[in-house]
């Protein structure tokens, strides 16, 4: 199962990728997570990427392509993979096809997570992450309260720097301009494209995902 999860920021791709990756025992590669890790480590890659990430802009293709090429070549990815947050524009999608072709492989399917902008803005304002283990939480809409500690590891929860309202608006603009055209690109291609209604509870969306990819 070689999957791409496509959709706007806050659509739930990461949450659903974690659940599916655990269920079918294949790795998930989220370029955003890998870049944030590099930022935390203050590596040269992280220093370069941070300038773009803090503004909600795309990190240059050559930086991201290096990460994905390495991930796809790792032995773990031989059984399959889920790419979350990559590709984010047509040149990245073309590069992905080329990497896979070199390995005599191809995508099995692309899953598109459909959520409207107003819901995304609401979701991202409520998102809190654990900087220690990467777990993602949502403030309860009705109370705006969540424990400030991670359920899993006890880390102190925080909002992502790029989940500030003005940056979110920019990320959505960047998404519509660069990433949304991939929907038409994949529709015109030969890979199966599943369009999921990604509004609902995590469990509801997961049920739709499992039936789309034939895992239920």
Interface residues toward ligand AMP, by CB under 6 A: 9, 31-32, 35, 52-53, 56-59, 64, 85-86, 88, 92, 162, 171
- Whether 88 is a known active-site residue: answer yes
Catalytic residue among 13, 28, 50, 128: 13
Catalytic residue among 88, 123, 128, 208: 88
Q: Which is nearer to ligand AMP, 32 or 206 (CB)?
A: 32
Shortest spacing between CB 78 and ligand AMP, in angstroms: 22
Tell me the residue ranges of DSSP E strands in the chain.
2-6, 28-30, 81-84, 109-114, 127-129, 136-138, 192-197
Q: Of 90, 117, 108, which is closest to residue 5 (Cα–Cα)? A: 108
105 catalytically annotated: no
Question: Which of helix, strand or coil describes residue 158?
Answer: strand
CB of 176 to ligand AMP, least distance (A): 13
Residue number with CB closer to ligand AMP (68 or 209): 68
Query: Annotated catalytic residue: which of 105, 127, 164, 192?
Result: 127
- Least Å distance between CB 174 and ligand AMP? 7
Beta-ladder partners of 192: 109
Catalytic status, residue 126: no
Q: Which residues pair with 138 in a beta bridge?
A: 127
Token look-up 């990430």 returns 53
The secondary structure element, H or E, covering residue 195 is: strand 192-197
Count the alpha carbons within 13 Å of 11 in the hemisphere toward its beta carbon.
24
- Has 160 been annotated as catalytic? yes
Instruction: Please state, in angstroms and rounded to a whole number, the distance separating the CA atoms of residues 14 and 7.
Output: 10
Measured from each CB, the residue nearest to ligand AMP is 32
- Catalytic residue status for 13: yes
Q: Which C-beta is closer to ligand AMP: that of 52 or that of 137?
A: 52
Q: Which is nearer to ligand AMP, 35 or 196 (CB)?
A: 35
If phi > 0 it is left, if psi is from -120 to 50 it is alpha, else beta; for residue 144 that is left
Residue in this structure with the two tokens 């400030």, named with its chain if needed: 148
Please, what is the minimum distance in Å from the beta carbon of residue 175 to ligand AMP? 9
Residues annotated as catalytic (active site), given as ranges: 13, 88, 127, 160, 171
């Amino acid at each position: 199962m070689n999957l791409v999860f496509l959709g706007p920021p806050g659509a739930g791709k990461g949450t659903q990728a974690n659940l599916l990756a655990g269920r079918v025992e294949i790795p998930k590669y989220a370029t955003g997570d890998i870049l944030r890790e590099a930022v935390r480590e203050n590596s040269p890659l992280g220093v370069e990427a941070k300038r773009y990430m803090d503004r909600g802009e795309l990190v240059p293709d050559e930086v991201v392509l290096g990460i994905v090429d390495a991930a796809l070549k790792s032995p773990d990815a031989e059984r399959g993979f889920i790419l979350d947050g990559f590709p984010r524009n047509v040149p990245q999608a073309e590069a992905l096809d080329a990497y896979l072709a070199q390995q005599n492989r191809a995508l099995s399917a692309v899953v598109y997570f459909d959520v409207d902008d107003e819901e995304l803005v609401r979701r991202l304002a409520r998102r809190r992450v654990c900087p220690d283990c990467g777990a993602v939480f949502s403030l309860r809409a009705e109370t705006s309260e969540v424990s400030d500690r991670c359920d899993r590891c006890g880390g102190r929860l925080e909002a992502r720097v790029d989940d500030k309202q003005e940056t979110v608006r920019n990320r959505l603009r960047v998404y519509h301009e660069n990433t949304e055209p991939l929907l038409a690109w994949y529709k015109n291609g030969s890979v199966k494209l599943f369009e999921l209604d990604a509004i609902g509870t995590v469990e509801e969306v997961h049920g739709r995902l499992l039936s789309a990819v034939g895992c239920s």
